[in-house]
Amino acid sequence: MDEHTGGRGAVMGPEPEPDRGEPVVGRDAELARLFRVVDSVSADPVLMLVVGDVGTGKSTLLGHAVRRAEAGGARVLRAAGSESESSLAFSALHQLLRPVPAEVDGLPGRQRAALQDAFGKGPATSGPDLMLVGIAVLSLLSGLGDRHPVLVVLDDAQWCDRASLDALSFAARRLEGEPVTMLIGARGGDHLPGFDRHVPTLTLGPLDSAAADQLLDLQPKSPTGRTRSRILDQAGGNPLALVELARAASAPDTAVGSPSAGPLPLAEHLERIFAARLNGLPAATTRALLLLAAMDSADSAIAVPAGLPHAGDEIWPPAERAALVRRTGHDVRFRHPLVRSAVYHAASPGARREAHLALAEMLRDEPDRSAWHRAAACPHPDAAVSAELERSAGRARRRGGHAAAAQALQRAAELAPRREDSARLLVGAAAAAVFTGDIAWVEELVAAARTRTDDATLLASAAVQAGRLAVLTVRHPVVFSRLAGAAEELTVSQPAAALDLVAGAAVVRFYSGEDTQRHRIQDILRRLPANAPHADLRTWVRAVSDPFDDRDQLLALLPKLVAEAQDRPERLTAVGIMAWLLDETPQAVRAFDEAFDRWQVQGALPEGLGGAVAWAYTERGRWEQAREACARTTAVGRVAGLDHAVACAAAVDATLLALQGDPSTARTRAEEALTLIDPLESRSVGVYAHRALGAAAVAEGAYETAYGQLRMVFAADGTPVHYHASYPALADLAAAAVRCGRHEEAAAIVERSAAALAGHASPRLRALISRARGLLTDPREAEPHFRAALADPVLEYWPFERAQTLLDLAEWLRRRRRIAEARGPLTEALEIFRRLGARPWIERARAESRAAGLAVTDPAPDALAELSPQQQQIVRLAARGLTNREIGEKLFLSPRTVSSHLYRSFPKLGITARSQLRDLLEGTLVTAVQQEQGPPDAYVPDDPHAQTTALRESRSGHLGGLSRNLTRQTWTR
């Protein structure tokens, strides 16, 4: 087959044969667009999909792009998917990175270990952190880009394993500012996880009539007359079809189909043409072709030593003359995937089985490949092969290849002789498929399991697996109905499983905020036996579905739950979520800290209520850790296709961005959250997004807009839109109302909420209600409300809310001409805002301080105000001694991106060396505290601890034990 046809090269060998440079007929515009992408490799990151039907020329165009990039000095990494390896986790990534072993070895320890675990070279006792694998790929590509531009080419991506696609799509989203380009070739219409949204796509359609005629004219024996018309009609503009039909028409004793037979599907017709070329080949050649077709391995290092004839063997020339294969160096490759398909399907079932068995024996040192070949050779159930595949699934799962594990277990179930074993394996497959985020696949596996067994335990487990993923989707009404219905059926026979299901239903209830769901959950809990196992889970369900009902009783159970959860990170996380829901944020943060200290690998999916982690850190004033949690949830959610998890993280992140003084980016993130969910079905995320939009408007002084957004947190009649997420907005609603003349409406909402929470409100909510009342009441009666909002010492654990109230009190005192009294709250509020980096609030507090006669200066830390929130975050991590790679790991950025942010930040900070960062941030913070305390009659905290809290917390890290090597002198480390 000629290179200019647009067909794919062979599939065996470490790299496809380089394009010879023949003209590409009818693809001038497409090739020009592809060249523009490749030519930008040295300046801007580009990701492009090249999609089209079989034979439209994807691989040929990619080959030209490779030649163009290499001529420009780029480093090219190239891989191709293969059907037989699509079930082997990380096989495509391994093929892609095989040419750069030194760079893999040079990765930081954790990243290198994760990649080695993924490739099966490490112990992988608990499975690699899949996000760390993605970071390793990102770091590696970024490092290669330091030396020269990089072009990554992945062809036949529809056949690549899911784990590789996840890692590459993760890296692709974070290549901003990197000299790295990715070109992904795939068949049109195939779902490509991670690459199917908002990705620039070059679609290859049929050639037009003029180009089709031109291509036929270029063939060695150009067809004419009626034959030419039939070829043009049959090919439909497909380049490969045009060339192969022309070749077939010129062969002796060959006709291009029978007029009476009617048109055949193109792929089937082409396969028949290729299969016809097998006639007359020597038996040994035919057998070797069948082995090659059955293997279809991209790794010749395995194929040839295993027993496949080498490229110089006399077996291959007849196949080469028949235009079935191409020999390149030491490799033998099919000229097109359809050749492989034709050779394989032309063989008898018995011959195919023999070929797979022969390959299984050749590859006995590759147990996963061997297992799949034995499975392909099984015409009937076989317990031994099923067990072999089950072991292969275990290996894949330990390497983090959840899709590969699910595929192996699904095939093992098909081969299991006993229906009970088949059902068990299908449930296991569903459990593995949960981590792919593919809800349709999970439900298909669960449905198949139900047809194979009546075992109540297995069926309950199947329902739990389906529910585990379903709660992370946006289909709240449907998912809740399924979970609750299944739980009701199992309350007597399988109470433990029923409790698991109702726990999932409680998560959906939280997201949806639907009150009818609360009643159904309570009814299920009442129907469960009093002695049902996992009483702690029952408590958790109660807290999630209604945290204000029997709050005191739930609080009393917290210490016992914490004690029982020690050394069990997943249970500590659950306890932390429950504590956060009960407004016990300090307890929640401690639980999350302990859990993460013990649980380095946090799994491949977000927690059911993973947003609680980010919110708890936000409320506690640990905004850096909150943004890290958002980054991880966003990364995991996007890879798994879980829009709801991404929306949750976006809403928290938007709030933080607004509070840190980046209202434009905050609005973008909040609007992203709203586009990913239906606010009427996911009330929690909708409320959080509107709160973020309100905070962004406040940051800009647009109080009418802020009130409009915060008003949407409550229904028309003043009831909360969400039973938990709405209440913390009460004080902000009141503050916006005061500044836009909406006192009466806001006061009615506040009092209605106060009445609803009577006797059940947490100290935090009571303080927020008191602050709201102080803002909305007659100024002559406001002071007791502000004092009440500050009275409980525990409220210091919500520093931003406390600082807001201190500022409100100070403003009230100054307006009442009690200026000396106002200075103390002002100083404390400004100190807190500074520590948090709440830029809009710093400016407001500074303006109020000047009005109160405080000597407010412009200390050095104000240089941070010129940095974006992300730059501030990076600078603070660098000041703690983290390298660019370590910062990248925490924030899911490439080292180059981190370096670029630091490079732009240093001039704004007035420094030239990395070692100056800690002195800048810590030393000037002490100066700022002293300067902001003002003249002698200003307020000075009685407790020395209060003076140093900000300094100490700025030094502390989330996980502890972080390196503080301050000898690094440049931003590039």
The tokens for 475 are 């289909």
What are the residues whose beta carbons fall under 8 Å from the beta carbon of 425, sequence distance 6 or more? 386, 390, 409, 410, 412, 413, 416
Give residue 863's pLDDT. 62
What are the backbone dihedrals phi and psi of residue 182, each rounded to the nearest 5 degrees, phi first? -120, 130
Query: In angstroms, rounded to a whole number, what is the distance separating the alpha carbons of residues 257 and 219?
Result: 20
pLDDT digits (tens, 9 = 90+) for 166-190: 899 888 888 877 889 999 999 876 6
Give the pLDDT of residue 967: 23
pLDDT digits (tens, 9 = 90+) for 624-666: 889 988 988 888 788 777 888 899 999 999 999 999 999 999 9
Check residue 962 and give its pLDDT. 23
Query: What pLDDT shows up at residue 260?
Result: 36
CATH number of 27-204: 3.40.50.300
555-571 tens-digit pLDDT: 999 999 988 888 787 88
The amino acid that residue 501 corresponds to is: L
Which sequence spans correspond to the domains of the chain? 27-204, 857-973
pLDDT at 17: 42
Taking the CA of residue 51 as centre, how many other CA atoms within 13 Å lie in the half-sphere pointing to its CB?
Answer: 15
Buried b (16+ CB within 10 A) or exposed e, 66-85: bbbbeeeebbbbbbbbbebb
Nearest to 343, CA basis, from 400, 286, 383: 286
If you write DSSP's letter for every residue of 317-385 in order, what string do you get? HHHHHTTSEEEETTEEEESSHHHHHHHHHHS-HHHHHHHHHHHHHHTTTSHHHHHHHHHHT-SS--HHH
For the domain spanning 857-973, the CATH number is 1.10.10.10
Retrieve residue 8's tokens: 């794919």
Q: How many CB atoms lie within 10 A of CB 191?
A: 10
Question: Which amino acid does the sequence have at 68?
Answer: R
**Residues, the chain, total?**
973
* Residue ranges in the chain modelled with pLDDT below 70: 1-23, 41-45, 122-128, 189-190, 196-197, 251-267, 296-307, 532, 598-608, 857-865, 922-973
Beta-bridged to residue 202, according to DSSP, are: 50
pLDDT of residue 327: 83
Coil/strand/helix, residue 720? strand
